[in-house]
Amino acid sequence: MDTAKVRALLAAADLGSISKAAEALGYTQSGVTHMMRALEEEAGFPLLLRGNRGVKLTPEGERLSPLFRELSHAADRLEQEMSLMRGVESGVVKIGTYSSISLHWMPQILEEFQKRYPKIEIELLEGNGQEIEEWLTDGRIDIAYTSIQPYFTFDTVKILEDPMYAVLPKNHPRANDESFPITAFKGEPFLVYVASTQIDVDLARAMALAGIGPKAKFSSNFDMTILAMVEHNLGVTIMPRLILAGSHADVAAVPISPPLTRSLGIAVRSMADASPAMKRFMSCTAEVLKIK
């Protein structure tokens, strides 16, 4: 099976558009359309549903997509290994991460990586924890920079423990305290960062420890909006230090007692099956962030 056709199919499915897939891959739209028809003829059944709002995989395509991604990854790894034998460092690494990690870690990692391996391309995709986990499971990304969870079946490398803070309006009675008891959240108007219908797993754990129910006074799918709400006395929230480091909101951030943290790190489907380009990116990350 032609891996170029498989890559075109996956790009169309991920981007929801044949024209966007063509642009991303450097083909014409008619070229990608022809490739899709040829692949469907080879399969013997439709793989894409086409509509006014774009394209998506058929149920048969969804069932086969993990195998298509495995085939694409295997082809990429083969190409990279052959490039190494020719003395050329090349390849593509697809990374999924939080916006806070993109802001604080990725620029320095990417700067150093591009100095060392200018022919290796990096694709960066930002999302919430649930999305990143799904992307890694489905093979849409190669490496996840995310919060490491106990239930993960991925291979992981811990980077650091990111402390969680009580985020309060500046005029809150406890705004100048050295610590904020976890039990003190009960009864406070609580604000949550919600991605779609899913509360971030680390925030959900903190809320459970605080005795806060799932229903919040206000919610938003953008953490900076939540901080702005706190700044305007609409409630309180819990956020990790890395997110707060990128904010200019005029709020008080008080350490929670007892301390709460989230474990930030790297996750891949398999270290043993990682491509040469992936290994080089993870090694560069370890050096830049000084991971032991």
Of 81 and 258, which is predicted with more confidence?
258
Indicate whether 74 pLDDT > 90.
no
- Give the bridge partners for 192, in sequence order: 219
pLDDT for the residue 196: 47
Cα–Cα distances (Å) from 41 to 46, 65, 248, 269, 287, in that order, read: 8, 17, 55, 31, 48
Of 276 and 111, which is predicted with more confidence?
111
Ramachandran class of 233: left when φ > 0, alpha when ψ lies in -120 to 50, beta otherwise: left
Band of residue 82 on the pLDDT scale cut at 50, 70, 90: confident
The Cα–Cα gap between 197 and 122 comes to: 30
Indicate whether 154 pLDDT > 50.
yes
Band of residue 205 on the pLDDT scale cut at 50, 70, 90: confident
- Complete DSSP assignment for 32-75: HHHHHHHHHHHHTS--EEEETTEEEE-HHHHHHHHHHHHHHHHH
The mean predicted confidence, pLDDT, of the chain is: 87
**Which of 155, 151, 152 has its CA nearest to residue 142?**
155
Question: Quick one: average pLDDT of 248-273?
Answer: 93
pLDDT for the residue 265: 95
Domains of the chain: 1-64 (1.10.10.10), 161-261 (3.40.190.290)
Chain-centroid distance of CA 240 in Å reads: 16
pLDDT, tens digit, 9 for 90 and up, residues 99-148: 889 999 999 999 999 999 888 889 999 988 888 999 999 888 999 999 99
Indicate whether 198 pLDDT > 80.
no
Indicate whether 7 pLDDT > 50.
yes
Band of residue 214 on the pLDDT scale cut at 50, 70, 90: low
pLDDT for the residue 242: 92
Tokens of 129: 């924890």
Q: Which residues, other chains included, contact 191 with Cβ-Cβ below 8 Å and sequence gap of 6+? A: 216, 217, 218, 219, 220, 226, 229, 230, 234, 235, 236, 237
pLDDT for the residue 91: 80
123 touches 92 (CB < 8 A):
yes
64 touches 13 (CB < 8 A):
no
Question: Quick one: average pLDDT of 170-175?
Answer: 95
Band of residue 233 on the pLDDT scale cut at 50, 70, 90: very high
pLDDT for the residue 88: 56
Specify the range with the lowest mean pLDDT, choosing from 78-92, 121-135, 144-158, 221-235: 78-92
pLDDT above 70 covers a percentage of the chain that reads 93
Specify the range with the lowest mean pLDDT, choosing from 126-130, 221-225, 238-242: 221-225
244 touches 163 (CB < 8 A):
no
